[in-house]
Amino acid sequence: MASEESAERETKESAERDTKKSAAGPDAYQKRYMASDALYHDKIRAPLAYHLLFLLPLLVTLGSTIVGHAPVTVPLLALIPLALAWALFSVLRISVTKGEVYVQYGLFGPKIAVGDIERCEAVDYDWKKYGGWGIRYGRDGSVAYNMMGDHGRAVRIVYRKGKATKTVLVASHDPARLAAAINEARAAAPARAGVRVEAVVEREAEGAAAAEREAEAAEAAEEKRARG
């Protein structure tokens, strides 16, 4: 019982620390590349366990090289991709502006127009459904940008991309605040006339096609009765 209370208290304290970090404002990268005047910034850094996962093979490789008196060049070249992956996926950044939501996991991630967002909400998720952490693809077609140590907290964003509907799950220190910032931007964004016109034209085209199919079916039935 005591261990459960201790674990719960530790999780709560960790969440409070994470929330303070997200409220600290944009870092230098976000200011320069992800809209310094954004309504809201969020950032998650990888925990110690993540860094140890990359440090261990590095130490093993270097140790084997030293003990075996092998040339250092080959293992160093082999470790370059590992070091690059470590640098790229150690920070997840999210910025919300009046017009767009920027998601960047290293150098990767979508830039979503606020006017294309259909739904946004804070959710609890199970990382096992995505097979791990990083940029992961779910069986339902959604894409997760999650981080080890995110405590299963994220924001689900459903948006339109062309004629397709996309879903992304973005880990966050404070998903309620992030979702609120995105929905605030959605509420303030002017209605997109182009999207409305496109939707109307599409509905009209679908209605015309359905009417044509009904007319063809009626004509075929009339011809069948005439032959009979």
CA gap 81, 102 in Å, rounded: 26
The more confident residue out of 88 and 204 is 88
Surface-to-core class of residue 62, CB atoms within 10 Å of its CB (0-12 exposed, 13-18 middle, 19+ buried): middle
Above 70 in pLDDT, residue 24?
no
Above 70 in pLDDT, residue 22?
no
Above 50 in pLDDT, residue 179?
yes
Amino acid, res. 9: R
Give me the phi and psi of 111, to 5 degrees please: -115, 110
Amino acid, res. 59: L
Percent of the chain at pLDDT > 90 equals 25
Band (pLDDT 50/70/90 cuts) for residue 2 is very low
Supply the pLDDT for residue 197. Answer: 41
CA gap 5, 25 in Å, rounded: 32
For residue 97, how many other CB atoms are within 10 A of its CB? 18
Supply the pLDDT for residue 101. Answer: 94
Above 50 in pLDDT, residue 193?
no
The strand ranges marked E within the chain are: 40-45, 91-96, 100-105, 111-113, 117-124, 134-137, 143-146, 153-161, 164-171
Query: 95, 34 in Cβ contact below 8 A?
Result: yes
CA gap 24, 41 in Å, rounded: 9
* CA distances in angstroms from 132 to 83, 123, 144, 146, 184, listed in the order given: 20, 17, 10, 8, 31
Average pLDDT over residues 22-50: 68
Above 60 in pLDDT, residue 99?
yes
For residue 50, how many other CB atoms are within 10 A of its CB? 17
Fold of 2-46+89-188: PH-domain like (2.30.29)
Place of tokens 């259909």: 118
Q: Over the stretch 52-81, which tens digit does the pLDDT of each residue have?
A: 766 776 666 666 666 666 566 656 666 677
Supply the pLDDT for residue 67. Answer: 65
Least confident of 1-10, 66-75, 138-147: 1-10
Give the residue extent of every domain in the chain. 2-46+89-188, 191-228
